[in-house]
Structure 1
């Protein structure tokens, strides 16, 4: 007669490691992402960036308000190198 199969421990089954590897990879990726975010934060370019952006938008609106439609369209479509 044949001997009954003895059950193997859980760590000897390949499917268990396949199942564990997904969440483990996500945890490792999260730790690496956190380390990158903490070790090299983005610098603040200007303290008053919002006010500067509003001023630029107002200036552009004033400039474009006086242009005829055809000229404004052509100005927007022309690359910056050719404008100078």
Structure 2
């Protein structure tokens, strides 16, 4: 009945690594998403005489373009 139990340090057990793997994978996915959003999906500039309000794009009249300058 005098069995000695040897305890391993925390980094040699599986549970801490299993619990840390979820947030680590989420962080890597977030970094990849931000990288793709910045480098591959940039908005293209609009031409002169075009006004963008939200998702709506309108062609301005000639008198409106002179008033905006």
> Where do 1:5-84 residues align within 5 Å?
5-44=5-44, 46-47=46-47, 48=50, 49=52, 50-52=57-59
Give structure 1 stretches of 5+ with no counterpart.
53-84
The structure with more helix, counted as a fraction of residues? 1
Larger proportion of strand: 2
The structure whose Rg is larger is 1
Q: Give the superposition deviation at 1:29.
A: 0.5
Runs of 4+ with deviation above 4 angstroms: none
Question: How many residue pairs align between the two structures?
Answer: 53
Where relative contact order (Cα < 8 A, 6+ residues apart) is larger, the structure is: 2
Q: What TM-score, normalized to structure 1?
A: 0.49
| TM-score, normalised by the number of residues in structure 2 | 0.58
Structure 2, gaps ≥5 residues long: 60-69
